[in-house]
Amino acid sequence: MNTFIYSTTRASAVAVGLVLATAVLGLTGATNAEAGTVSKLAFGKTPDGKTVDLYVLKNGRLTVKVMTYGAIITSIETPDRDGELDDVVLGFDDLNGYLGTHPYFGATVGRVANRIAKGKFTLNGKEYTLAANNGPNALHGGLKGFDKVVWKAEELESGDGPSVRMSYVSPDGEEGYPGNLTVSVLFTVTADDKLEIKYTAETDKATPVNLSNHSYFNLGGKHGDSIRGHQVTLYASNYTPVDDALIPTGEIAPVAETTFDLRKPSQLGFLISLLDNTPQGFDHNFVLDKPKGRMGLAARVFDPKSGREMTVSTTEPGVQFYTGNFLDGTNKGKAGVAYKQHQALCLETQHFPDSINQPNFPSTVLEPGQKYTQTTVFAFSVK
Ligand code: BGC
């Protein structure tokens, strides 16, 4: 059972303060924060006794829950076209589920999202060997990535709405990566039903960094069946083909006249049936068309059954589009539902997989004195 240990008083007090400030100083932009609330629940303890808290961010018609273990999004609740609220992300009802084996449900992934071939790279003349956790390759940060550590949390009013900032210092050498890396992830829910995620990172030695969120979406809700009926648009004219181990070949290939052309809304079931990979489905990085380094649209997902629509915008150059191909019923998640193949889809906004070994991909190297930033916004509506 969760215990309620923090109320919304602070958020209300801030809102009153903002209203007064607006009246006295003629400030604008305070309205979003007024409606939102943030609350904190105890969510349990890790096996080594660390307390885990769950933050509930509520604004507009959107409620997002994010916990300090793995900076994991445990729930995103949003209405369908009849106003019925439901949770549109896969996960578990309690901390125990998340402490077990699962494929990164809702997690903040890093230090480097996706695969690094053979778990090796060379930087400034030095070869580094990472923890291999996907055959010979390193995946999503290694054996104990950012998804399996307890983050520090701080409640904030970001101006856009109620927020929680998670922070973590990844020590030099962790999972084989060089440099002490200070990371923060700011989660905000806005009055117009958007979840904003803003990442920052700084290092004291050159290191690759590629942060992302690994939420599994099913806009049909927690009992939603497969995502084969969802319509997906990806704003990408190119993608990065992969070998059998899902490592990019280095090529940047046009999607035109291939099954990877999702530039118009496309029903996933039909497209997936055309793919000949095993396990079948999309598990590919798409190269976004938006201007480099600037915020722009990555994807749009529509579920004709529930009427829910989600758009994804990002500052990142790519999005890993993954249709839950490896889900095989082993994980029993929320409400005891066994998560089957194509039960959900992920849109992991990020730099391209294995960038550190691919000279023609945008660089993931962060140098001391530089600041890594990335912003991704998930916007929810109905049609
Ligand atoms: C990868 C998949 C992997 C999944 C869960 C995705 O980002 O592209 O290959 O199975 O994460 O780890």
Q: What's the pLDDT tens digit per position in 293-327? A: 999 999 999 999 999 999 999 999 999 999 999 99
In the predicted model, what is the mean pLDDT of the chain? 91
Report the distance separating Cα 201 and Cα 177, nearest Å: 14
pLDDT at 9 over 50: no
Mean pLDDT over 210-218 rounds to 98
Residue 114 C-alpha to ligand 1 middle, in angstroms? 7
Q: How far apart are CA 79 and CA 241, in angstroms?
A: 36
How remote is the CA of residue 10 from the centroid of ligand 1, in Å? 39
**pLDDT band at residue 109 under the 50/70/90 scheme:** very high
Please name the residue whose Cα sits nearest to atom 4 of ligand 1.
103
The answer to whether 179 and 204 have CB atoms below 8 angstroms apart is yes
Q: Is-contact 290 283, C-beta < 8 A?
A: no
Atom of ligand 1 nearest to the CA of 353: 8
| Lowest mean pLDDT, pick from 155-159, 180-184, 206-210 | 155-159
Instruction: Name the residue type at position 184.
Output: S
Q: In the prediction, which pLDDT does 34 show?
A: 52
What's the pLDDT score for residue 115? 98
Dist. CA 110–CA 124, nearest whole Å: 21
- Residue 53 in contact with residue 39, Cβ under 8 Å? no
Q: What is the mean pLDDT of residues 49-73?
A: 98
Query: Of the ranges 151-165, 290-304, 341-355, which one carries the lowest mean pLDDT score?
Result: 151-165
**Is the pLDDT reported for residue 6 higher than 70?**
no
Of 24-33, 46-55, 75-84, 358-367, the least confident: 24-33
First to last CA, the chain: 36
For the whole model, what pTM was predicted? 0.92
List, chain by chain if needed, residues with CB within 6 Å of any ligand 1 atom. 103-104, 114, 139-140, 246, 283, 320, 322, 326, 348
Q: What are the beta bridge partners of residue 69? A: 150
> Residue holding tokens 């690759």?
208
Give the containing element (helix H, strand E) for 273.
helix 268-274
Which of 115, 326, 341 for mutating ligand 1's site (highest number of atoms within 8 Å of CB)? 326
Q: Band the pLDDT of 225: cuts 50, 70, 90.
A: confident
159 confidence band (pLDDT: 50, 70, 90):
confident
112 C-alpha to ligand 1 centroid (Å): 13
The predicted structure's pLDDT at residue 271: 97
- Ligand 1 atom with minimal separation from the 326 CA: 10
Rg of the chain in Å (alpha carbons): 20
Q: Which of 182, 188, 169 is nearest to 60 (CA)?
A: 188
pLDDT mean over 95-109: 98
How many CB atoms neighbour CB 120 within 10 A? 17
Q: What percent of the chain has pLDDT over 90?
A: 89
Q: Mind listing the pLDDT tens digit for each residue in 114-158?
A: 999 999 999 999 999 999 999 999 999 999 999 999 999 999 877
| Residues with catalytic roles | 214, 348
pLDDT at 5 over 60: no
